[in-house]
Structure 1
Amino acid sequence: MADQCQRIVFFLKKFYSGKKYSSRDLFNMIPEEFGQVSLRTIQRDLLVLQEMEPGLESERKGREIYYYLSRDYRSHAMPFNVSASQLLSFYVLKAHLKTFEGTMIEEELISLKSLLERIAPADVFSLESLFWDKNIGNYNYFHHDAILRRVIDAISKKKWVEVSYNTSNKGIINKFVCSLVKLFAYAGSIYTIAYVPHHDSHIALALQMIEEVIEAKGDFGKIPEFDFNSWAINRFGVFFGRPENVLIKIQSDYAHYFVNRFWHQSQQFSYDNNGDLLLKLRVPLAKDFISWILSWGEVMTVIKPVELIKEINLKLTNTLKNYE
């Protein structure tokens, strides 16, 4: 879907220039931008675009059908209607485009950024979190379209909302007023960061656990500014906790993999006398951090704190019992 969204945005950029294009014209442009696809794929893309954008007109010239947007439509209409999942894709694309600011291709992206701003106004997806995810896998949000759309609306319009949140697998629902400030992706799931005035703090809410989002009634004060990096200091991943000083030894054969990557704002690297890499962190001993350590197996050895070593031993012991 992401590839198709990018192609459709590319097509719209061309159509908004006022020119007319056939499916073959667009087919010839695609390889340079996105790699080779079939003419039939381009034709399917145009059919999807026509369904989403009734302003896309067509006319036959000989054996070819040419597509275009009229001048009146280009000047007055919103680009097109999209589903919530497609809208999220546009917001993610907007965030990615910001990583090119200050580069030689920034000027080439101006018109695309302008078009995306019309489709997906405001900054909803956290730029800082684009390369923050340290895990794999993804959650299927097919049945969460309505919630996703309400979350995006609340973020972009800076509204106070009442969220109904499923806090456990027992179906316990908590309701609270908050301001949703950003989206981010982690471990294959989408989260929204919410400022809760009752606790004067920002928390992470898993999108799939949100049961309802409705506009809140009342005055809850000014929504404070949010800084993702400051918020993430007290987290390795999603879970909040009191930061602890951690020292991890990494086998020398794998050192190159770690020193060239960002893991946490507090990271510091050094080497011991045997050439093994030492990684210092100040992070909460939360379950996502412990899972990250366990995922590396024998590559990592926790040196301190003792509390973390005991927790790792317990996890490994319980794991081995599953195979007895």
Structure 2
Amino acid sequence: MYLSKPNPELYNQQKCEANMSLVNEDGKQNCSARLLKVEHLLYQNPNGIQVKDIARLCQVSKRTSYRDLNELETTLKIPLITDKNGYHIADNYFLPPIHFTLTEGLSVFLATRLLFGYSCTYNPDIESTFTKLNSVMPAPFQHQISQTLDKMHDKAADKENIQTMALLCRAWAEQRKVQISYWTLGKKDCSTREVSPYFIEPAAAGHSAYLIGHCGKSNEMRTFKLEHIQSIKILDDKYAIPRDFDIDKYHSPYWGILVDGEVKDIKLSFTPEVGRIMTETIFHPTQVNETLPDQSVLVSFRLADTPDFVSWVLSWGERVKVLEPRELRVKVIETARGMLERYAVQEKK
């Protein structure tokens, strides 16, 4: 079962007209504002509302209300359900309206900025979030949000990835398994897997989002990069996320998205010139800092030395030294030698 997506442009147009009067200057009904009111009435009556009541509250005929409901369903792709109680919106489609304080709105803005920053492709859902936020924030914030919206249109769209995310979101909300065709790095062909989505995690380092869930093929927890999912289908099979599953505990022994390897005690020595950065920033929950008399900083971690952690250590260059464990120190030395050899060959040409 594939998700029928709403039209973001038409939907945002309705949202931007939220404060318009139901009646135009010439005395005629404003269709856009009326459709928005009908949508709000459906929000306010999750168990259902009769067409006659919609018509009465919007001051139109029942025939017009039926046309409005059809417009919401066919043009804006809002899934409507009818029963003895009347019309209502299908569960899990829209979140209920909520109110933010100014600082809460700023938190949403900053979180969305992070999402915008890690993604190098255009995403209409991120744009829609900014657009809605922009309608309620004070003028200074609106200017910054508008600038972000302008920059967003410079990015190329990735329709396949957007559709994949939409389907995963729905499957996760409805607790239904997905069948994916997945390409693994280093493999020539894709493999078909049935996965129970437990979590979707963004990772700035990989400029991507990752599906974390139980893989039926391996019968273990696995991490799947969204861009490597070649096709996806929502299945009818239901699943339940274990009550003791905690994504933060699951990732706590690891540096980034990669879950692999033995957890070790790691000690790094940073030179004084970057020592202050270490004391000012918590890079991992297990981090412990100790400032030495010469102002160098000893930093300890309790985690696995995965490739993404090794890359982070290497990013500090000569300003860091691995003290423990020896295996990590060897990895860094071998990588540094490989880099030197590669550049040496290039310089000889």
Query: What TM-score do the two structures reach when normalised by structure 2?
Result: 0.57
1:58 to 1:161, Cα distance in 2 relative to 1, 3 A:
farther
> What is the percent sequence identity of the aligned residues?
17
1:317 to 1:215, Cα distance in 2 relative to 1, 3 A:
same
Shift of 1:248: 0.7
Paired with 1:312 and 1:249, the residues of 2 have a C-alpha distance of 14
Paired letter, 1:156:
A
Paired with 1:68 and 1:278, the residues of 2 have a C-alpha distance of 62
Query: For 1:238, which of 257, 274, 283 is the aligned residue?
Result: 257
Paired letter, 2:305:
L
Correspondence 1:149-228 to 2 at 5 A: 149-186=166-203, 187=205, 188-196=207-215, 201-216=220-235, 222-225=240-243, 226-228=245-247
Shift of 1:60: 6.1
Between 1:222-231 and 1:157-166, the stretch displaced more is 222-231
Paired letter, 1:308:
L
Secondary structure of 1:204's aligned partner? strand
Shift of 1:200: 5.4
Computed over aligned residues only, the root mean square deviation of the Cα atoms, in angstroms, reads 4.0
Paired with 2:250 and 2:182, the residues of 1 have a C-alpha distance of 21
Paired with 1:131 and 1:256, the residues of 2 have a C-alpha distance of 26
Paired with 2:113 and 2:288, the residues of 1 have a C-alpha distance of 19
1:209 to 1:138, Cα distance in 2 relative to 1, 3 A:
same
Is the contact made by 1:20 and 1:66 (CA closer than 8 Å) also made in structure 2? no
Shift of 1:150: 1.6
Is the contact made by 2:287 and 2:300 (CA closer than 8 Å) also made in structure 1? yes
Deviations 1:230-254 (Å, cap 9, x if unpaired)? 1112321111122111101112222
Is the contact made by 1:177 and 1:196 (CA closer than 8 Å) also made in structure 2? yes
Is the contact made by 1:249 and 1:303 (CA closer than 8 Å) also made in structure 2? yes
Correspondence 1:1-324 to 2 at 5 A: 12=15, 15=18, 19-20=19-20, 59=24, 68-70=33-35, 71-76=37-42, 80=76, 105=103, 138-140=119-121, 142-144=158-160, 145-186=162-203, 187=205, 188-196=207-215, 201-216=220-235, 222-225=240-243, 226-241=245-260, 242-324=262-344
> Which residue is 2:136 aligned to?
none
1:208 to 1:318, Cα distance in 2 relative to 1, 3 A:
same
Is the contact made by 1:252 and 1:276 (CA closer than 8 Å) also made in structure 2? yes
Unaligned runs of 5+ in 2: 1-7, 43-68, 79-94, 122-156, 345-349
1:307 to 1:223, Cα distance in 2 relative to 1, 3 A:
same
Shift of 1:280: 0.5
Paired letter, 1:184:
E
Secondary structure of 2:41's aligned partner? helix
Secondary structure of 1:245's aligned partner? strand
Deviations 1:198-247 (Å, cap 9, x if unpaired)? 6554322100001122234657x633233121111232111112211110
Count residues with an aligned counterpart. Answer: 240
Is the contact made by 2:176 and 2:237 (CA closer than 8 Å) also made in structure 1? no
Unaligned runs of 5+ in 1: 22-56, 83-93, 114-128
Shift of 1:146: 2.5
1:130 to 1:295, Cα distance in 2 relative to 1, 3 A:
farther
Is the contact made by 1:154 and 1:180 (CA closer than 8 Å) also made in structure 2? yes
1:267 to 1:73, Cα distance in 2 relative to 1, 3 A:
closer
Secondary structure of 2:213's aligned partner? strand
1:315 to 1:137, Cα distance in 2 relative to 1, 3 A:
farther
1:263 to 1:72, Cα distance in 2 relative to 1, 3 A:
same
